[in-house]
Structure 1
Amino acid sequence: MEDSITLEDKLKERIKELTCLYRVSSLIRNSNFNNRKALLNEIGISLKQAIRFPKEAFVEIKVDEITVVTGKKIEDAIFIISAIKTFSHIKGAVTVGYSKRKFSENAFLKEEKLLLKKIALEIGDFLEREQIKEKEKIAQSQIERAGRLTILGEITAGIAHELNTPLANILGFTELLKERYKDDEIGSEDLDKVIDSAIYSREVVKKLMFFSCEMPQQMTAININTIIEESIRLLNPNFKKKNISCTVSFSSDEVYLKVDKIQLTQVIFNLVMNAIYFSPFKGKINIEVKDKQKIVEIKISDEGEGISKENSENIFNPFFTTKPVGEGAGLGLSVVHGIIKSHKGTIAHETNSPKGTIFVVRFPKS
């Protein structure tokens, strides 16, 4: 089947190749990134039609986990292949093949090999644009979320200030009433309930002020290893309740940071308490502290159920919680976020393997 090719045949092949390139460019240009497999399938059909012997050929396009084959794939085949790259990384390949029984390697024209490279390049460019668009979407989402958190911070700061005065009045006047009705046992008990409720409300207000960074900070350079070790010791009873093992590792014996000691303790407490709450019985929690060139990184990982995609955008928002009613006010992580932000740091979460969540806190050294 590999007869010599005439000038007229060469011209026909060039037309087929140019038609294929135009068709592929049009497909990619008009793609909305929604159905990658359908796009690759159309490209495969166009490429197969452009090959010298389309009825005998098969085309295979692989990109990440997607594989499309046009024509009947032949295992014992001769083929040409071109890598698909995005940002210099190989993401897949385009392959065109014939049966070894009918064809030799001379069946492929030099121009067909160039065509394959051009199509692989077109697909690579498309994938790069897809990645850029996805990164832009994530960046936009992060900007919008940061804006929402800033507005929430301003709102909660105002709420906290407005509530502080009436709560102080409730506590003060209730104490006076308790003195007046000290002989009334039932009345005193009721007043104790009012005092307890006011104190609880004041703690919620304090957390709101932490979230909005309104609490005064006492920044000192301290060895944070000591703070983390002390926090873990204090939480020992909580570990024992669920028979959870906790391992702590430090990249160096002393890791110094300029932080507010009380606020950093609150960050560690909240994150570890969360890890304990969501960990299974006999689970494992790992705390890792790394002293890097420009930052200090703290990783806290658990083996819980992990954070679902729909909740991941909201976990640092105040009053958002996945805990049952009465077991959490939804302020723990928002307080943590506020404290870390006030220290010019960042907090993020990622999936633990094989299950669970890793919270990653990074503080700048400067």
Structure 2
Amino acid sequence: MCSAAFAGSATAAACRPAGELRPVAPRELGTAVATRRAGRPCVVLLDEHLLCDDGRVELQPVGPTRIISLLPGSAAETLQQRFGDALSSILSPEPGAPALLVAIRTALRDAAADDRLLSLEAERRRLAGEITKLNRIGIALSTERDQERLLNFILTTARDFTCSDAGSLYIVEKDASGTKRLRFNNSQNDSLPHLELVKFTIPVSKSTLAGYVAVTGEPVNIPDAYLLDPKAEYSFNPAFDQRTGYRTRSMLVLPMKNQDDQVIGVLQLINRKISRTATLTAADIDNVVLPYDDAALELTLSLASQTAISLTNNQLYEGLKESLVELKQTQAQLVQGEKLASLGQLTAGVAHEINNPLAFSRNNTHLAHERVTKVARRLAVQRWLEAGTGGDPQARVAAGRAILDKLKEDKELGPDAKDVIADLGSMPAPKQLELLKMFFSYVSQSREQKEGSIEEVLARTQKVLEECFIGLDRMAEIVLGLRNFARLDEAQFQNADIDEGIRQTLMILSNNARDKGVKLTSDLTLTRPYACFPAKLNQVVLNLVNNAIDATPRGGEVHVHTRVNGAWVEISVRDNGEGISDANISKIFDPFFTTKPVGKGTGLGLSISYRIVMEHQGTIAVTRDETAGVTFLIRIPTEPKDPGTRTEGAAKAAESP
């Protein structure tokens, strides 16, 4: 740009090869620079003819603009302060054409470079914004578990990326008969923001746009929905436009393919606008709506696929969670089943253990009852005799008859008592009293001679009752042992007496060991409670000891030992039985592995024991002794870091000598 005076000069003619010369008036200079075609480099040849009447320069450099000063020296210095780097060169008011041509070309190159830098900066900001959006999308795709929120987020994001006025999502589902259908699931429309969403399904068929994309798995890019190729297999349904007054123009319909290349949905974008905030009306649709370009297609196609993968992963995740819950329930049932199986194997032994004290307690109770009854009869006879002859004779006869009724129940005195009752019926009252006194004296003397004094009988009865208490205490001990073994009221992680739990477990197993001729011994040296799952730890010890008894021949021994070794509580179970072969030692903790005959073992005991020890953050190892038998060593921490969780590095160990 230059003054009209310069444009008509000979120097201007020599400079025309450098570019177009455009003369402007001084007060039009700023507007001309600001309104030139975007991105076009501009050089202002500033001479005295472009100065306003007051000597000012009506110019504010915009975009890629460079200034060449053709003003006197003092004015040029002022320009330097005002325009800074925009001032490209300072020449004399009448420079030679060659020098001016070089200056113009240099200024144009600088302006073009500035324009390139501005374009690159704008592109950088655009890409940075897209990267931020993509990062947000990636986070949402990997963390969002709610399908509806995820689908709405993806639809909004796709519309933001492509400046789409509207969009919708279809999800592939199966009806009751197993036929695939497309469910219209999500819809957004800037022009109709309050439009109520009505969900419906359509067949997966090539006759519709969404159905065609679902069947073929290929995207469809439509510049104008009302100008489809007559040969196309699909058609556009204008019912929505007719019902709402909306005008559909450009469309981009995309398949949502997961990692298995299956189409699980269809993303539909409608009316790409010149900007995201542009308002769409039927009158200016030609000026506002653009076709979707390849960049929009590529970006949204990738977004649709990532969404499909995320939805599939969410479905797999939910299925995995359900499977995990079922697995834990099954696992708990297996643990409980194994415990019940172990208790079932011990039922006969426990019944035998209870039956012995129950039998003699029951017999002694009957004996004590019989003796107390006899003492009561003797006391009644003694009180009648001590009453003497005083009082009403009829009342004394009646009291005597009542005592005779009780003596009838006595095995030894019953027949005599019945005879006396018969004789009393034919006697007068005085004779009845004499007969009663004679018979009761006989009873008192004969009982004392045979049974001893009443005090002696009571003393023997007390001893019998004490023996009953011993039997009852033994039964209580057995029941307590069963309760402590199961510890149904102590299923949580807590401080417990591990040695006491082992004692009760050995008590439960004692009859089984005795029947098989195996000696059970123990050396329990723990001095305080330790954190554990008491019931579960008891089950581990029961499994190991029970297996050891089964593997030990008659006359053998099973020994249980506890101690504290550094930061670990150690429980060892040693037997001198048949041992474990090389082929089996590495498989003993595998679920359902057993060497017992069919019906004799579930193969879950050691597997469950291993898992329980892992819950205690411990280890379980098995070693073979040099002579015969094996030793199982359980180690659990004395101070667990996180009760009930598995510690890194905790693992089973199976070693050979």
What TM bracket, shorter-length normalisation? 0.3 to 0.5
Higher strand share: 1
Structure of higher CA gyration radius: 2
Higher RCO (C-alpha under 8 Å, 6+ residues apart): 1
